[in-house]
Structure 1
């Protein structure tokens, strides 16, 4: 599991650097991330396989996104509105359960 976590961290860092247009050349990126240049190429290919619109800009000497995008991976807690909570909690029975719990 630690390997997967490390790969996700690398993807998140590459995403951040791409958004900043500050990856540098692949060799520089590899050195910055403390990974091999081959791993940089594999990670970029993985991102492309995940539909990330990435290309290398020779003028900037950086990977860039050709469209506004962002990589997110993880679990995010969000509050549900009453309707959504009711639908997740059993629909019509939700109101009855609340009445029983309130009693």
Structure 2
């Protein structure tokens, strides 16, 4: 199974902000199938040890512990790194558009 880490970071962001919605709406927002969503969530739980739970009362995914996903190193040639950065920025912009954050809130989250 191929995992899209931009998707993982987007899901992480939405989980931390308690704004994933139910599985159908989250899959729709991410432009993926429910099956792909569940595969990604299972990967996050099993391989990345993310303590993800689903709150049926709030209809959103949550972490049952404080934390976030961090990816710190990318090995590759400059052009590959530039492509990865552009993809990450695109993912962040998509998260920004899907969430109801103000631009100033996004800049604060990014430390800018």
Category of TM-score, reference length = shorter chain: 0.5 to 0.7
The CA deviation at 1:59 is 1.0
Higher RCO (CA-CA < 8 Å; seq separation 6+): 2
Q: 2 CA distance for matches of 1:60 and 1:8?
A: 26
The CA deviation at 1:45 is 0.3
The runs of 5 or more residues in structure 1 that have no matched partner are 77-103
Look up the match of 1:61. 59
Runs of 4 or more off by more than 6 Å in structure 1?
none
RMSD after superposition: 1.5
Give matches, 1:26-45, under 5 Å: 26-45=23-42
For the residue of structure 2 that corresponds to 1:52, the secondary structure is coil
For the residue of structure 1 that corresponds to 2:8, the secondary structure is helix
Paired residues, number? 72
Are 1:8 and 2:8 an aligned pair? no
2:43 corresponds to which of 22, 43, 46: 46
For the residue of structure 1 that corresponds to 2:21, the secondary structure is coil
Q: Compute the TM-score of the two structures, normalised by the length of structure 2.
A: 0.60
Structure with higher Rg: it is: 1
The runs of 5 or more residues in structure 2 that have no matched partner are 75-112
Q: Compute the TM-score of the two structures, normalised by the length of structure 1.
A: 0.66
